Structures are given as structure tokens and as C-alpha cells.
Amino acid sequence: MAPSDPLRLLAPDSLRRAFDDDRDADTFLLRLERYGPELIESLGAVYGEAATEALLPELLEVLLHAYHTRPADLKRLDEARLLRPDWLQQPEMIGYVAYADRFAGTLKGVQARVPYLEGLGVKYLHLMPLLKPRAGENDGGYAVADYRAVREDLGSMDDLSALAADLRRRGISLVLDLVLNHVAQEHEWAHKARAGDPIHRDYFHLFPDRTVPDAYERTLPEIFPDFAPGNFTWNEEARSWVWTTFNAYQWDLNWANPAVLREFVDIILHLANRGVEVFRLDAIAFLWKRPGTDCQNQPEVHHLTRAMRACARIAAPAVAFKAEAIVAPGDLIHYLGTGGHHGRVSDMAYHNSLMVQLWSSLASRDTRLFEAALRAFPPKPTNTTWGMYVRCHDDIGWAISDLDAARVGLSGPAHRHFLSDFYSGEFPGTFARGLVFQHNPQTGDRRISGSAASLAGLEAALAAGDPRQIDLAVRRLLLLHAVTLGFGGVPLLYMGDELALLNDHDFAATPEHAPDNRWVHRPRMDWARAEAVAADASTPHGRVNAGLRRQIAARQGLAHLHASIESRPVPSPDPCVLLLRRDHPLGTFVGVYNFSEHTIHLPASALREHLGEHALDHLAGSAFTFGHAPVVLDPYRALWLTQAP
């Protein structure tokens, strides 16, 4: 739908009466003028003209309420962000990801530990799911029973607001998960649907028999084939088959119903007024259901996200969206925006492929697949950013395309099989200690659980007491962090990785965790170790911590790492070495990364052609002159080079 005057549907003149202050009215109406057409266009594309005209007055009521009740300090932040729209792209942005309870017990406990985060250089704190989940098994908190309440063991919504305010004063943005695809079966909407309320039954996908579900199942993958096979669950109380992509207790929402969008706009703005600055849009790829497809990455998903973003820009423009879309690169780029959506969907997305290629190159000691995969990546909009990580709370799925593998002479299935063997500890000579997660015999898919330190060899090396292997494991970890910190988006440190925490093999002692071995890499924060590494940087854990802090300090002072610039691979004369170039107005940056335990003699010409005769390494603070002698790269050495003045 594209009316000749889209703003007529929003009646901006009559809206002025909703304000007591002319300046407030001007601010709101200017934003409405800017983002209203985008909102109307995307709503029309999804719901049609008639439904959009009916929905708009309801959305305006939500936006006005959120704007009027937004705290003054957050309104000031809105204006600051509008003046600095690249705030998420700054090199100073260092992310930290943690479960609140495993980090510090409660939200008040997290607040008491904020100085630790400040000392690490953190500017972006993602607290894993903390909105009230269902009791018992809840998919790590992703089965939300109430979006307006906090887990009772963590505290209250007032505690969340107090934490957000404290973080904000210190220049740290609070990031929370917003589960969009589904709610817990205990959610109020699902209760009403089971009770027969026709309004709320339309919030979900409910079917009286297997006819429609069976038709969908022909093209749907299984997300958790081990413990949640299939995509539909019979519910006796509702007398229906319910769409349950992830688990039987997680009911997929019907986003074809405009009321669901209205509900989530209200939820987003409510949480934004509590101080949430970034929303991780969980399972966003699954929102739209279309027969004959895998029901992922459908075009309506991007219109829905654009519509929600437009609403946030009107009422709370300090807010940013991060897409949790773990999909192929060709699909991923749409979550940042292409064509008419260019730069108008999510502000940030996970660069899952980067993480996968880090571990792939570490196992193979070969970066040619890494280079090929990055070369095939579509360019992102310059106003968006990547979220890069070495590890996260989730398993590692070997998202390596057969096409990328073939480009470098590999078999995709064989290489994925090798990586699963290597990181589960089955491959001869492997240094890794991981666990197989969700083996699917039909596809051969075997994902991997494990902490970064254990996957990089520190667990095995410490158990063997081998100083050489311990040293190599430390070097591997610092190499991985150097790539993510030097790539140019927002590097996301997973809690405990700064201390090189190992696998928690006691995870199964907690009954609700026992069926899910991803808890092996979700240990509790070791505060005793944090104090120990601060006092003694010579231990393996201390070396990782000290090295990572040096990398963070170097990054935060290096303008070349602004995320509007993309890293792109350039040809490397040695398959063990990855070269990433960034062309910044201040000059060229080249990241040099040796993915092997061997000393590499890299021809100086490979760097001279990008940097000229002289360069400075910002990691070690050393100067290079590229003459006839090769550049010597120690095992797992990383260089961040810029042209010397």
C-alpha cells in the first residue's frame, strides 16, 4: 500500500492536541513525518490497506503513551543518539554477554559488579533471558510467560530499571532478549486461547487435525530432533495441534494477525522506558509461515521488523535492534536491509559465519575457506554493524556452505564431519574437548557444545600438564579474540572467556539442565579466578586475561575499526595466514592472523602492496619496515597494521 499522502492516515494535525508542550508535539510529529511512511508501507505490504487503516490508530495510541511516559533522561538519550547515529559502530563498543544469575546471582548483584565490566572496557551489556519464563524446563529462559516481569529469583522490574540507569550513567547500554516467534504455553495469551477465546486463539497457529500440519512438515526442518522432534504438538485443552517449532511448551505466534504486532510494539516500548537500549530479536527468522517453504527468512519478516523499528524510532529512537538470525549469508543480509529496506531493518546482526570460520581455520590450519566465505559475503549497509563473537551461549552449528567449500576444493559434508569429529575430541591428535549436541542421523548434522578455552585446547593441555600445549592454547584464544576485536563491528565477549573458563562438566547435576549439554559452556562466573588473574598474569588464565585487555585497549584507540567500514579478505601467500584489509579515511588497516602452531615467514611484499614501506602494529606497539626480509609470524601471532605516519 502506498497512498499518495501516507501521513493522512496518521492525522498529524489532530495529534497536536495530545500534547501540552509545543516542543514535545514538534518532536513527536517530526519523527512521525520521518518514519510514518516507512511504517505504513511495511504494514500495507504485510496486512493490506484495510487492516493497516484499522491498526494505525491503535499503534498511535501505543506510541503516544510510550512517548508521554518516557523518563526525561531517556528522552535526552534519544536526542543524543539522533545526533550520533553511529553510536553502535564506534571502536569503543565492547560487548559482554552473561546470564545474570550465573554472573552475579541477582540484578542487584550484577549492579554491584558493574565496576568489573567498566574495568574491562565494556560499553554494551547483554544479559541473557531474564524476563519471567515458565517454571521448570524453559529452553534457557526463551519460553517467556510474562514480558513485563523479571524472573523472581533475579529481582524485580524496578531492579532492572535501577541497573539500566546505573549502566547508562557509566556509558554502558543494556541489551535484552526479546523472544518474537513464540511464548510459553503458560503465557496469558495461550491460557486464553486454550479457554476458547477466539481473539487469542488467533494469536497462535491452531489446527483441528493433522491435515495442514502434515502439509507444512514436508518442507520444515527439525530444530531439536533429539528432544523435540516435529513442529506441531497436540494440546488436549485447546483441542488443537499447536505450531511448536522449538519445544512443545513454546507456542509459535501468528504474526499474520496485526494484533500480535501491536502487542510487541507495546512490549518493546514498555521495556525501552525501563532502560533497555538494544533488543536482541530472538528467532526472528521464523516469524512468517508460508506453505511449501522452510518457513524461515520470508519477506514479511523484514517488513515486520522495519515496522517495529519505525515505531521505536518515533517513540524511543535511542533503541536499536539486533537480529538473531543464524542463517546463510545470502539470507542474513536482508536482516540489515537490502533494496527498499536498505539500512532500515535491524541495526545489527550476528556474523555467525565469522565464528564458524574461526573454529574451522583453527582446526584445519588453513584459512582459504575462511577467505572464500568472507569474499562471498554481500556488503552490509554502512549504517549497520556486525556482532562478532568467539563463543556464545549456544552450540556451534557448522554453517559452511557446499559452494564455499567447493571453491577451495573441499567437500562440504566431509569438512563438516571433520569439524564435528575434531571438536568433539574424536579426531586423532585433536586439542579440543567438546560435546556433540543434537546429532541428526538423517542429515549427519552434529553440532558442538563447549567453552572457548576447552575447544581451543586449554582443558586438555592443563590435564596433561604440558607447558608447550598450554602456551599454544593461550595463543589460540588470543588469536581468536584478535580477529573478532579487529573485524570492525561490536565484539561480544561471552562471560568467562576473559578468564579462559573451562567446560563445566557438572552441568547435569541440575535436573533441568541435564538434557541439554549446552550448559557445559554456561558455567558460573569464577570471581576467585577473576581476583587471581588480576594479581598474577603469569598463569594461563592470567595470560589470556591480560592479553585480551591489551587488545581491547588497542581497539578502543583505533579509529580504523569504525564499523561503517567493512573488513575484506585479500589474497594471502600462505594458507595458514588470513589477511583482512579495511580502507578507512585515515588510511589502510591490515589484520594479519597466523592460524597455525608453526612459525610462518610471510613475504614482505604481501603487506607492502597494502601498506607501503612502513607500518605500525597496534597490538604490540612495534614498527615494521617491509624490505626484502620476510615478516616472521610466531605461532598464532596476530598483527593489526596501519600505515606509519
Residues acting as catalytic residues: 282, 324
With CA atoms as reference, report the closest residue to 346 among 379, 376, 383.
383
Cα separation, 335 vs 347, in Å, equals: 9
Per the CB < 8 A criterion, the answer to whether 197 and 155 are in contact is no
Q: Which residues pair with residue 602 across a beta bridge? A: 631
Q: Is 158 exposed, middle or buried (0-12, 13-18, 19+ CB in 10 A)?
A: exposed
Q: C-alpha distances in angstroms, 371 versus 397, 422, 493, 567?
A: 19, 21, 23, 11
Spell out a b/e string for 115-151, using b for 16 or more CB atoms within 10 Å of the CB, else e.
ebbeebbbbbbbbbbbbbbbeebbbbbbbbbbbeebb
Q: Which residues pair with residue 250 across a beta bridge? A: 184
Spell out a b/e string for 11-35, using b for 16 or more CB atoms within 10 Å of the CB, else e.
ebeebeeebeeeeebebbbebbeeb
Host H or E run for residue 640: strand 638-643
Q: Which residue has the cell 510514518?
A: 36
- Could you give the dihedral angle defined by the CA atoms of residues 144, 148, 152 and 157, in that order, rounded to the nearest 10 degrees? 140
With CA atoms as reference, report the closest residue to 182 among 131, 240, 245, 236.
245
Instruction: Describe the crossing of helices 49-68 and 299-315 by its angle, rounded to 10 degrees.
Output: 30
The strand pair at 587-594 and 568-569 is best described as: unpaired
End-to-end CA distance of the chain: 54
Per the CB < 8 A criterion, the answer to whether 450 and 517 are in contact is no
Show Cβ contacts of residue 89 under 8 Å, excluding neighbours closer than 6 positions. Answer: 383, 385, 489, 562, 563, 564
φ and ψ of 274, to 5 deg:
-85, -10
**Any idea what the Cα angle at residue 290 is, between residues 289 and 294, rounded to 5°?**
85
Per the CB < 8 A criterion, the answer to whether 397 and 439 are in contact is no
φ and ψ of 354, to 5 deg:
-60, -45
Show Cβ contacts of residue 50 under 8 Å, excluding neighbours closer than 6 positions. Answer: none
Q: Grid coordinates standing for 489?
A: 563491528
**Any idea what the Cα angle at residue 17 is, between residues 13 and 22, rounded to 5°?**
90
In 10 A of CB 156, how many CB atoms? 15
Which amino acid, residue 334? Answer: H
Cα separation, 201 vs 261, in Å, equals: 15
Q: What is the DSSP letter of 228?
A: B
**Any idea what the Cα angle at residue 204 is, between residues 443 and 344, rounded to 5°?**
75
